[in-house]
Amino acid sequence: MRKNSENTTQRKPGRPGLRIRLLVGLHYLKHAYNVSDEKVVEGYLENPYWQYVCGNEYFEHDFPCDPTSLVKWRKRIGSDGVDKFLEETIFLGQREGQIKDPEFRRVNVDTTVQEKAITFPTDAKLYHRMRQVLVKEASKENIQLRQSYKRKSKLAFIKQGRYFHAKQSKRANKETKRLKTYLGSVKRDIERKVENPNERLKSLLEISERILTQSKNSKNKIYSIHAPEVECISKGKSHKRYEFGCKVSLVTTSKSNWIVGVQALHDNPYDGHTLKDAINQMEKIVGLRPKEVYVDLGYKGKDHHPEDVQVHLSNKSRKKITRWERMWMNRRSAIEPVISHLKQDHNMIRNFLKGKEGDRINAILSAAGFNFSKLIRAFFCYFENLISSSFLFSI
């Protein structure tokens, strides 16, 4: 991992970079204990065990780095470099005897949604926020707008929320239309006064055009101005009708639930279309290809299944199968609590990293944090058994 990270570092005059062992250790700890960049740096200062994981021989009394150093390093290595985090946890589990090669023969595959850190999108909210962003950018570029609608838009936005809460839909829709008019007026005013906008302003004008023209049945809608890549995904959950983010494909071993593959998928693909890529990624990380894959009904369609892998659907008739095969089919649902732990305990429930690349990085680091937690528990169980056995021997 150190060699791959050093290849992405440009050696220039100036302050030398931070130790790779330190940065890698901080990222493992961050996602293993579900903390932010700031909290993991603070925890490093307090916890000698964390300092040992990061390669220290002596206890330090100063912060190891600024939290923004973690952000810049993630951007530098990208999702291809982060793949090594997951690969190293699998390699370490094999080296310590926690994962055996026959365990990779059978795997479970499923998809979930990694939600983005955005507010719930509504038309009124998008119109109001988009107008604010355009006015702010115009002010930076010294563009004199005919009217900014700063106070009028704010009042209309407040009224729209009140009318909607009171179930007065006609009045609420009237205020929404007024907000749309304000946005269109500001957008056209900027386009008239700027012939060649810079890249940032041009991107904002394109987003505002999409927001103004999109309708209920439009494809590829804009749900967030700062994260235009966000998609609306409906998984059929009774408690959460829609989720806003991207789909994530997950591969775990059927026996011990080690994560051996994870991918952030954009454009909301059909689950069955993602199976080949998920298995290919597992082969790239582990070096072995599974023989049997257990999936749910979302993976219907033999045309999309790999030819060299036997795919078992969860609704398959169980009358003509052996008791041994039935046991492994029942293990398919073991991937569901893994997804829950990834979200609740390892930072996948709400992704704060920017862009599609941020989606990929956060998904992989969450999976690496999950495996790292399993390795920590295995180490402490071994240490506890070692102490108890030595105590009994002394008695």
Q: What is the DSSP string of 203-226?
A: HHHHHHHHHHH--TT-SS----SS
Q: Which residue has the higher pLDDT, 392 or 128?
A: 128
Residue carrying the six token digits 């989720």: 243
The per-residue b/e assignment along 384-393, b for 16 or more CB within 10 angstroms, e otherwise, is eeeeeeeeee
Instruction: Report the distance separating Cα 295 and Cα 318, nearest Å.
Output: 15
Instruction: Report the distance separating Cα 109 and Cα 105, nearest Å.
Output: 13
Structure tokens belonging to residue 3: 């060699």
Q: In the prediction, which pLDDT does 357 show?
A: 95
| Crossing angle between the packed helical segments 355-394 and 20-32, to the nearest 10 degrees | 80
Among 1-10, 65-74, 296-305, the range with the most confident prediction by mean pLDDT is 65-74
- For residue 37, what are the contacts with CB-CB under 8 A and spacing of at least 6? 30, 67, 68, 70, 71
Collapsing DSSP to helix, strand or coil, 55 comes out as: coil
Q: In the prediction, which pLDDT does 136 show?
A: 96
Three-state helix/strand/coil letters over 73-115: HHHHHHHHHHHHHHHHHHHHHHHCCCCCHHHHHEEEEEEEEEE
Mean pLDDT of the chain: 90
Structure tokens belonging to residue 48: 């000698």
Whether pLDDT at 395 is above 60: no
Instruction: Report the distance separating Cα 272 and Cα 301, nearest Å.
Output: 7
Q: In the prediction, which pLDDT does 320 show?
A: 74
Structure tokens belonging to residue 327: 């046991």
Whether pLDDT at 62 is above 60: yes
153-207 confidence digits (pLDDT tens): 999 999 999 999 999 999 999 999 999 999 999 999 999 999 899 999 999 999 9
- For residue 384, what are the contacts with CB-CB under 8 A and spacing of at least 6? none
Q: In the prediction, which pLDDT does 391 show?
A: 43
Residue carrying the six token digits 């940032």: 200
Whether pLDDT at 133 is above 90: yes
Q: How confident is the model at residue 374 (pLDDT cuts 50, 70, 90)?
A: very high
> Where does the chain have alpha helices with state H?
2-7, 20-32, 37-46, 48-53, 67-95, 123-140, 150-165, 169-193, 199-213, 275-286, 323-330, 335-345, 355-394
Q: What is the DSSP string of 158-204?
A: HHHHHHHHTT-HHHHHHHHHHHHHHHHHHHHHHHHH-SS--HHHHHH
- pTM for the model stands at 0.89
> CATH 3.30.420.10 occupies which residues in the chain?
78-118+232-381
* Under 8 Å between Cβ of 179 and 157: yes
Whether pLDDT at 33 is above 90: yes
Radius of gyration of the chain measured on its C-alpha atoms:
26
Nearest to 108 by CA among 254, 208, 282: 254
Collapsing DSSP to helix, strand or coil, 245 comes out as: strand
Report the top-level CATH class of 78-118+232-381: alpha beta
**59, 83, 118, 124, 155 from 87: Cα distances, Å:** 29, 6, 31, 45, 53
Whether pLDDT at 8 is above 90: no
Q: How confident is the model at residue 274 (pLDDT cuts 50, 70, 90)?
A: very high
Q: β-pairing, 310-313 with 231-233?
A: unpaired
Q: In the prediction, which pLDDT does 11 show?
A: 62
Q: β-pairing, 231-233 with 259-265?
A: unpaired
